[in-house]
Amino acid sequence: MSPTPNKDQQPDPRESLNDLIAGGLCLILSFGLAIYHTAQAGRLHEDFGRDPGPAFLPVILLIALGLSGVALTLRGGLGMWRRRPPEMAASLFSLWPAAAAIAILVTFLPLRALFGAATALIVIGAALALLAGRTETSRWPVTAATGALVGLGLFGVFRFGLSVPL
């Protein structure tokens, strides 16, 4: 009689899902970059004589990445086999503060171009403080004002203390 695997010995479905997602991303990245790399015009794929050339290591690395992607996808797929996938919707929804923070950070350079670095950092500081302090009991104008002060203070340190041309 063959041994029945204990439930504890089976891979965690969340980890299997992670493998599946990571493997898929690796495959997309390796294929995407490989297409871009091979299609690149110019001297990239010329024969450089004894030098293996600038395309040599990227090709090896893209193959390695692709193989890692295949291995991760297979491992994830096998781990998920006949098992209920974990609940995803709630997990994805919990990511909104990170997405909001990235959206705020992305506005720095456009705001800097429009209004200058000091104003950009005041706005971003206030927005980030509000986001981070969303569950705190302090009043929102106070939170926003202190965040804006942090932005202004750090602008001062880098602009005047370190002479960074912001």
Nearer to other proteins, 80 or 150 (CB): 150
At closest approach, how far in Å is the CB of 155 from other proteins? Answer: 8
The minimum distance between CB 102 and other proteins, in angstroms, equals 6
- Tokens 């909001």 -> residue: 100
Closest CA to 122 of 137, 107, 100: 107
- Choice between 83 and 156, CB closer to other proteins: 156
CA–CA distance, 34 with 36 (Å, rounded to integer): 5
CB of 110 to other proteins, least distance (A): 10
User: Cβ 86 to other proteins, closest distance in Å?
Assistant: 13
> Cα(119)–Cα(25) distance, rounded to whole angstroms?
38
Cβ distance to other proteins smaller for residue 83 or 138:
138
* Residue 89: count of CB within 10 angstroms of its CB: 7
The smaller minimum CB distance to other proteins, of residues 84 and 94, is found at 94
Helix (H) or strand (E) holding 126, with range, is: helix 117-132
Which of helix, strand or coil describes residue 50?
A: coil
User: Helices then strands (H, E): number in the chain?
Assistant: 7, 0
Pick between residue 21 and residue 78 the one whose CB is nearest to other proteins: 21
Question: Smallest distance, Å, CB 82 to other proteins?
Answer: 20
Kindly state the tokens that stand for 112.
Answer: 């800097």
3-state secondary structure (DSSP) of residue 144: helix
